[in-house]
Structure 1
């Protein structure tokens, strides 16, 4: 265990003016509170808080954070209390310790809805004082370093939790070194065979090619010496998990994987960074598409650096990062650089991001989203890389990789996003689903009266845009759903000879665990809840059990004697908004609400039937048609068919519509469950590089 003198020496290395008495008292208090407690490894428990404090000294953090690390388990695991810690140390330290205790008690790897709620609490704790999560990350890092003493099932749980939550969170905070170590420690538990395989291949490669890191580092230093640039060069092989992830993402074997070595050049000035870039590109051939300038376009967490990949010795690709010493401090500590000390003074690093502004960008939507949407937003925010695009005035907008002009519009302002109708990229009009690339100029075209459409959810990729679209759709739909719900419930009450009253609705809302009667009607109108449930909970003795065959029908809103069928022109699927058109002697034909074929019935309102799908009651198989344009290369068609099959959809017909030397166009009829299933299939096909275009077919030439 690190003794008190060694810990104080670690702190004095960067903060000679440290309050040694405060740290000494915390060390003694923690040792006393944990006396007699043992870790599963058999070591005294207090070795853990001391190790956590030592990890935080590597980030040169303030005394309050070091003391919090020493005490972070006292309130939870000993007879210590918040009031005692506050009395002995300070309110600031007591609140930090209490914040870490609350985070420790969150079961972050539990069920989806609870996980989302706990994740929300985690982010709210971060918003109060970011040092809480810095201590928690150091706590998790030490636990992962000593994970072998845990039971196998506990190891697996902690490793998954680390991989899914804490590692990406560390990366999002700019602490890349911690992210890489957490990922690799978790990888060792989750897939030890794969990790060992990569390490063995590294050893073989080093035996065959010699010490590549040393040789390439010497090459770069030699080139810089020729130009008298004062810089330090570091090199290393990338972590096993980083290599494994690239192998999975790019579907490559180890032998085909490039840039498995990374090099860093640290210099004094920003001007030197660009001079070094010129030297490297002059000496080695740059790899197209692998250059990023985060100095002129910094990341939100303050990260600045130039990244380039070049073909080095023997054609091996190597990634080189170029940055100044101040930039490197932020790159190593991330958001934590805000609290860093040197020579007893808070370091005023011009590149350190304001933690309050940074955390505000992550927590601004916490109160507006449900559990599932919140988890989706958090994962999008934490796992994505970035692209940088320009407004027509030259302002830089940071977006997640894969973002579209719609994401760009919402990033500027929610009002711009809501009223967006089209966009121009580099002066050319493009579809709203176009994927943006670094350096493009984007102009958003708006129109008064435009509102977000449900299909936009599938177009945008950023959490901010998805949240804003869902909020707008909820606002637009709520009043309409409430009116529709009222009619459905009134008809159901009339069916059993009862009168619908406000009191009856309030009672039903309480019994069905909804907020109030308005929310109940909204859910019924949105087809989330059948109207008959109100009767079943209020009047079970008169619930219409005799009409079971009607209740089992997949479409709600038909008369007892009405039959129905899906229109072939729009092929409505469960989950879509629908309307019926009645035909004498033929029943009702169901169309999607936006089907162009409905225009011919605009003056025949008596034939329109208000319908919606009954959740969970639709047919297990429905057909839909897709218009595909794919590359005319060997194996592409087979790959497309395999992708459809992998999504559990079945191809029932395939027609070649047009063939060109480089592309050909197909009409594919598939069997699917519902509209969500269709979206899964289309998303999988859109992600395939050999698929140029994909669209759902709406064919007015087909008879209803």
Structure 2
């Protein structure tokens, strides 16, 4: 049913309920301005468009943000979708509102050919916006949250793409900013539309289990509350259900059945004073048996997103495990609303909030976006840092260092300083020498051994470092220290590859090809291309397809002439203009449905199907005359074998977890080989059947979630 927009009086009434201070006349003017600007515009649902800006502004008001931000929520689509521009907004509502709206508009105004580059550029623009004014991102998050609430009105494929983007970009940003209420809702909505059957099944299971445990949790809450009253500690206590997506992730990535998930409910205790948190903890541990290894003190060592709380897991009188969270009212506001609760604009000028030590991670990511040319590398680095869990360790002087979970002394060294990392030759943990791939544990004291005579980092370190900072600094060392060597090496590699096609550099890189490469790979000139290939930032597989596409267009007049008659499918492949043609699939690149493909006529063996980015075509001089157009026959889906390489730190149960991860996607192995080197780095070669690229991508994503896995890529 289509809902009419809130009237002005209803809108003002909603703002008053949220207890946010605002100038009634200024807000009234903004409401009327936005309503007039969007007059006649409709959403996909058929609702008046103004429903969306009103909803976004109310989400921002719920976060207790300032009046300028609430008005910017009403105006956030005005510059993009109406005749009014920046100057009009500045004249009507001031520079702050105009700047926020302009920042939101710029984030997705430019469209790029590649989804990967589009995502990377959007990330870059969001980071830039955060470094200048965090309110831009808060408006963007509110905009995305309301779009997710109305996602059912989008078409199927567009709906899934939006859900994917939300999980990949917006949820990690909300997580890093500590806005958990917004993060949880976006996660559950994305889960609902990506996996509707699993979502509904989990909803029913959680509801049943929650009813079973209500009596026990109510008993614990009553007991704890009575004891706190006797101690004279004012408090609020209640049960909190975990969000569905976090339960689903635990089941998926830890390969657990729903019945093995015990913490679907948590007990939360909120008190007035900091000291009372520890008094409550002592009381709970005296009445309920604490589970070993399940206590975390985020008050003494807050999370990077400012989250503070005491977490402990205890057993009830009948042996049920429950997580208990203890925090003050102020900590609770930060836990729910993150950076919005930590707001400092009343005391600071715009932009200065990004200089606060709580937001140093923004500066770090801005540094990555300057250093990393490859969009895929940049986006992976950002996601890794935004969403990683953390471990806290100490320097010899007692300073706390925060690192991603699973980090090593090398990660620690680069966290201290780039030069410490580059000259690292060994490490001591808690006074004893450990290997550089040792995984640091909470509370470890770490000392890095350096040598001025060190030649720099080892490329092998890339196999075990966990932090984006260390990984990028190591790559940068080889990129900068060996620039001339990388240029020569990259040029030699490319020339060798091009000789397979009787080409030289001049033929391969006319102006149209360079423009296309620049667009796809952010390459400015040939030297940068050579250097990127030389140090490993780009692979030949990323470059060769563009050259091939250009050459195939040029060579059309000398290619095999084919009749336009209907073609017959063989082995899931349609060969243009030919019937009963023997078709086989190249083992060098193992194409699967969804890949761009090209046929190669092999003398006496029919047509061999290669991926269009395959570099192993025959080396005969007339090979361009032997290309033939082929395509997948989508009406006859056939399973094809994919080959995937998995690299990880060896541990007991690793192989079982890898196979279990595939089984969750109903994928079963056809072949497997494994080896472990002296540094306990495991290399697994997996063969399994999939029906298309999307199925393979889901399998790879699942494998990346297995503990200790460092790299997964298709062969």
Bin of the TM-score, shorter chain as denominator length: 0.7 to 0.9
Name the counterpart of 1:367.
Answer: 370
Alpha-carbon distance in 2 for matches of 1:69, 1:30: 10
> Which of 462, 471, 475 is the matching residue for 2:476?
471
- Residue 451 (str. 1) matches residue 456 (str. 2): yes
Query: Do the aligned partners of residues 647 and 129 (structure 1) sit closer, same or farther apart at CA in structure 2, a change above 3 Å counting?
Result: farther
Structure 1 position 68, deviation (Å): 0.2
CA contact (8 A) 1:259 1:316 kept: no
- Residue 519 (str. 1) matches residue 523 (str. 2): no
TM-score, normalization: structure 2?
0.71
Name the counterpart of 2:466.
Answer: 461
Name the counterpart of 1:661.
Answer: none
> Which of 200, 204, 219 is the matching residue for 1:196?
200
Task: Write out per-residue CA displacement over residues 273-314 of structure 1, whole angstroms, 9 at most, x where no aligned residue.
Answer: 111111111111112222111111112222211111111253
- Residue 161 (str. 1) matches residue 160 (str. 2): no
- Residue 425 (str. 1) matches residue 424 (str. 2): no
Name the counterpart of 2:134.
Answer: 130
Alpha-carbon distance in 1 for matches of 2:255, 2:497: 56
Query: Residue 280 of structure 1: SS of its match in structure 2?
Result: helix
TM-score, normalization: structure 1?
0.72
Alpha-carbon distance in 2 for matches of 1:434, 1:245: 27
Query: Do the aligned partners of residues 154 and 628 (structure 1) sit closer, same or farther apart at CA in structure 2, a change above 3 Å counting?
Result: closer
Query: Do the aligned partners of residues 280 and 341 (structure 1) sit closer, same or farther apart at CA in structure 2, a change above 3 Å counting?
Result: farther
Structure 1 position 228, deviation (Å): 2.0
Query: Residue 70 of structure 2: SS of its match in structure 1?
Result: helix
Structure 1 position 179, deviation (Å): 0.6
Name the counterpart of 1:310.
Answer: 314
- Residue 240 (str. 1) matches residue 244 (str. 2): yes
Query: Do the aligned partners of residues 418 and 222 (structure 1) sit closer, same or farther apart at CA in structure 2, a change above 3 Å counting?
Result: same
CA contact (8 A) 1:187 1:241 kept: yes
Alpha-carbon distance in 2 for matches of 1:641, 1:413: 39
Structure 1 position 85, deviation (Å): 0.9
CA contact (8 A) 2:255 2:657 kept: no
Alpha-carbon distance in 2 for matches of 1:324, 1:341: 23
> Which of 69, 72, 77 is the matching residue for 1:68?
72
Query: Do the aligned partners of residues 125 and 420 (structure 1) sit closer, same or farther apart at CA in structure 2, a change above 3 Å counting?
Result: same
Query: Do the aligned partners of residues 151 and 223 (structure 1) sit closer, same or farther apart at CA in structure 2, a change above 3 Å counting?
Result: same
Name the counterpart of 2:146.
Answer: 142
> Which of 48, 54, 74 is the matching residue for 1:50?
54
Task: Write out per-residue CA displacement over residues 533-552 of structure 1, whole angstroms, 9 at most, x where no aligned residue.
Answer: 9x999x99xxxxxxxxxxxx
Task: Write out per-residue CA displacement over residues 218-257 of structure 1, whole angstroms, 9 at most, x where no aligned residue.
Answer: 2321232232222111212212222111111222212221
Structure 1 position 341, deviation (Å): 9.2
Alpha-carbon distance in 1 for matches of 2:544, 2:53: 58
CA contact (8 A) 1:391 1:443 kept: yes
Alpha-carbon distance in 1 for matches of 2:252, 2:648: 30
Structure 1 position 206, deviation (Å): 4.2
Query: Do the aligned partners of residues 687 and 111 (structure 1) sit closer, same or farther apart at CA in structure 2, a change above 3 Å counting?
Result: closer
- Residue 616 (str. 1) matches residue 619 (str. 2): no
Structure 1 position 9, deviation (Å): 4.5
Name the counterpart of 1:404.
Answer: 408
Alpha-carbon distance in 1 for matches of 2:504, 2:706: 53
Query: Do the aligned partners of residues 41 and 313 (structure 1) sit closer, same or farther apart at CA in structure 2, a change above 3 Å counting?
Result: farther
> Which of 282, 289, 292 is the matching residue for 2:286?
282
5+ long unaligned stretches in structure 1: 541-572, 575-613, 656-664, 673-679, 692-704
Alpha-carbon distance in 2 for matches of 1:178, 1:210: 26
Query: Residue 296 of structure 2: SS of its match in structure 1?
Result: strand
Query: Do the aligned partners of residues 140 and 215 (structure 1) sit closer, same or farther apart at CA in structure 2, a change above 3 Å counting?
Result: farther
> Which of 433, 436, 440 is the matching residue for 2:440?
436
Alpha-carbon distance in 1 for matches of 2:254, 2:673: 31
Task: Write out per-residue CA displacement over residues 446-472 of structure 1, whole angstroms, 9 at most, x where no aligned residue.
Answer: 111241121111211111111111111
- Residue 260 (str. 1) matches residue 261 (str. 2): no
Alpha-carbon distance in 2 for matches of 1:331, 1:60: 14
Structure 1 position 215, deviation (Å): 3.4
Query: Residue 406 of structure 1: SS of its match in structure 2?
Result: helix
CA contact (8 A) 2:395 2:446 kept: yes
Query: Residue 370 of structure 2: SS of its match in structure 1?
Result: coil
CA contact (8 A) 1:302 1:353 kept: no
Query: Do the aligned partners of residues 687 and 12 (structure 1) sit closer, same or farther apart at CA in structure 2, a change above 3 Å counting?
Result: closer
Task: Write out per-residue CA displacement over residues 88-147 of structure 1, whole angstroms, 9 at most, x where no aligned residue.
Answer: 111221111111122354669962233212221222222221101111111111122222
Query: Do the aligned partners of residues 199 and 636 (structure 1) sit closer, same or farther apart at CA in structure 2, a change above 3 Å counting?
Result: closer
Alpha-carbon distance in 1 for matches of 2:682, 2:42: 67
CA contact (8 A) 1:308 1:320 kept: yes
Q: Which region of structure 1 is more displaced relative to structure 2, 199-208 or 24-33?
A: 199-208
> Which of 391, 396, 409 is the matching residue for 1:392?
396
Root mean square deviation of aligned Cα: 5.0
Task: Write out per-residue CA displacement over residues 539-592 of structure 1, whole angstroms, 9 at most, x where no aligned residue.
Answer: 99xxxxxxxxxxxxxxxxxxxxxxxxxxxxxxxx99xxxxxxxxxxxxxxxxxx
Query: Residue 182 of structure 2: SS of its match in structure 1?
Result: helix
5+ long unaligned stretches in structure 2: 553-587, 590-612, 619-640, 688-698, 710-715
Query: Residue 322 of structure 2: SS of its match in structure 1?
Result: strand
Alpha-carbon distance in 2 for matches of 1:206, 1:492: 61
> Which of 87, 91, 95 is the matching residue for 1:87?
91
Structure 1 position 39, deviation (Å): 2.3
Task: Write out per-residue CA displacement over residues 369-400 of structure 1, whole angstroms, 9 at most, x where no aligned residue.
Answer: 12121011111012211111001110000111
Query: Do the aligned partners of residues 109 and 339 (structure 1) sit closer, same or farther apart at CA in structure 2, a change above 3 Å counting?
Result: farther
Task: Write out per-residue CA displacement over residues 460-491 of structure 1, whole angstroms, 9 at most, x where no aligned residue.
Answer: 11111111111111113322133456788999
Structure 1 position 73, deviation (Å): 1.2
CA contact (8 A) 1:399 1:408 kept: yes
Alpha-carbon distance in 1 for matches of 2:493, 2:240: 67
- Residue 36 (str. 1) matches residue 45 (str. 2): no
CA contact (8 A) 2:425 2:451 kept: yes
CA contact (8 A) 1:61 1:340 kept: no
Alpha-carbon distance in 1 for matches of 2:185, 2:544: 55
CA contact (8 A) 2:544 2:615 kept: no
What pairs with 1:544-583 in structure 2 (closer than 5 Å)? Answer: none
Structure 1 position 516, deviation (Å): 3.9
Larger Rg: 1
CA contact (8 A) 2:69 2:135 kept: yes
Structure 1 position 688, deviation (Å): 6.9
CA contact (8 A) 2:239 2:266 kept: yes
> Which of 113, 117, 121 is the matching residue for 1:117?
121
Q: Which region of structure 1 is more displaced relative to structure 2, 83-92 or 142-151?
A: 142-151
Query: Residue 307 of structure 2: SS of its match in structure 1?
Result: coil
Query: Residue 320 of structure 1: SS of its match in structure 2?
Result: strand
Query: Do the aligned partners of residues 618 and 296 (structure 1) sit closer, same or farther apart at CA in structure 2, a change above 3 Å counting?
Result: farther
